[in-house]
Structure 1
Amino acid sequence: MTAVAIRPEKLKDNIAAALGAKVRQITVALDEVTLVVSAADYLDAMRLLRDAEGCRFEQLVDLCGVDYSAYGDAVNEGARYCVVSHLLSVSLNQRVRVKVFCADDDFPVVASVSDLWNSANWYEREAFDLFGIVFDGHNDLRRILTDYGFIGHPFRKDFPLSGHVEMRYDAEQRRVVYEPVSIEPREITPRIIREDKYGGLH
């Protein structure tokens, strides 16, 4: 039998009571609770969210990185990188979103929660690969989507949209090889056919 979900405001109060001073900000919007903790308190806060009575978030269902450097087409004045996690309590039928901002924009680091939830393993590797966020304590932090020889982190807002090399699999060498791009960079603008130009569709 599924537990009856409590009101978001009550969940907010339960989380605030369990985490105490570790809570930097906690809000309710669209019936969803969002919690912000500091990088220094992140691991302890996540452990409390998993174990504390009234929380009991047994599952981490998602974790991703965010680059806020050009968020909303505006200049961001806070920390650039953030890790966002979504936790689920099956036993209590409740969810929470947890955000932690990396203290250093040049070398973003937060603690790994892969020892708390096994599902964090691949999520953290993805955030490392795409954003360059380092998860301290992860036992196998390496790229998961790009090639091992890939340079840079493609989901960063300052990552170039066009490059100077291309990658392909070479059957003779039995490995991925990088070669200089043999064509001039070009911008492709799609042609739009408007209905009023042709008198509408019939």
Structure 2
Amino acid sequence: MTSSSSVAIAPEALRDTLAAALGDKALRFVVRLGEVTVFVSPAHYLEAMRILRDAPGCQFEQLIDLCGVDYSTYRDGAWEGARYAAVSHLLSLSLNQRVRVKVFCPDDDLPVLPSVNALWNSANWFEREAFDLFGIVFEGHEDLRRILTDYGFIGHPFRKDFPLSGHVEMRYDSELRRVVYQPVTIEPREVTPRIIREDNYGGLH
């Protein structure tokens, strides 16, 4: 027999429950493809996440993902909002429901958000990844350092303006007998694929 708690709530009903719990800490809600997304301001982000974890009807015990997003080229550059955002996915095992939380960094030049690592320890590596790849600083994180790129890496490779070749390259110097870093020596170039215009190519008609 299936218990009532295992039946997923309709997204519109979940939106209403979350709206009542969050109050003015929620900027807006979007229901699309059966999923609920709540937008919160950076000033209320930490408290909103605490409510989503603890409030009756919410009870999102698990943070299953957190990633950074760079909107600078979104819709071919027509985006007019803040550049960087953090997007989290929360799961309630007890109530069988999910929610996506989106918060934009208030400063494009120095994107900073509060850390939620004290609420969910799974945020530890996720926030480090968003810092490493997008340069989003999570205030209150006790060990915010790179996690995917090398120690000597310069820049944040998932930013839309980061060059494909990077800024520095690494090589082993046989005279110094150690690895050294130097500016990239690869000339940027555009590779145009060869177009075959032969008639009946490959036996095709």
Once the two structures are overlaid, the 10-residue window that deviates more, 70-79 or 86-95, is: 70-79
Change (3 A) 1:193 1:86: farther
Amino acid at match of 1:30: L
Is 1:80 matched with 2:83? yes
Q: 1:22 maps to what in 2? A: 25
Instruction: Answer yes or no: is the 8 Å Cα contact 2:154–2:167 preserved in 1.
Output: no
Instruction: Answer yes or no: is the 8 Å Cα contact 2:70–2:159 preserved in 1.
Output: yes
Instruction: Answer yes or no: is the 8 Å Cα contact 1:195–1:201 preserved in 2.
Output: no
Change (3 A) 1:187 1:117: same
Give the TM-score normalised by structure 1.
Answer: 0.90
Aligned partners of 2:127, 2:136: CA distance in 1, in Å?
Answer: 8
Q: Tell me how far 1:192 sits from its aligned partner.
A: 4.9
Is 1:64 matched with 2:67? yes
Q: Deviations over 1:174-196 (max 9, x none)?
A: 86432354554433333355796
Change (3 A) 1:97 1:182: closer
Q: 1:111 maps to what in 2? A: 114
Change (3 A) 1:49 1:197: farther
Give matches, 1:5-16, under 5 Å. 5-16=8-19
| Aligned-CA RMSD value | 2.4
Q: Deviations over 1:18-63 (max 9, x none)?
A: 0001010012111100000000000000000000000000000100
Q: Tell me how far 1:132 sits from its aligned partner.
A: 0.4
Amino acid at match of 2:138: F
Is 1:151 matched with 2:159? no
Is 1:140 matched with 2:143? yes
Instruction: Answer yes or no: is the 8 Å Cα contact 1:108–1:133 preserved in 2.
Output: yes
Is 1:122 matched with 2:111? no
Aligned partners of 1:69, 1:43: CA distance in 2, in Å?
Answer: 25
Q: 2:180 maps to what in 1? A: 177
Amino acid at match of 2:78: V
- Structure 1, gaps ≥5 residues long: none
Give the TM-score normalised by structure 2.
Answer: 0.89
* Aligned length in residues: 202
Q: Secondary structure at the match of 1:106?
A: coil
Change (3 A) 1:50 1:170: farther
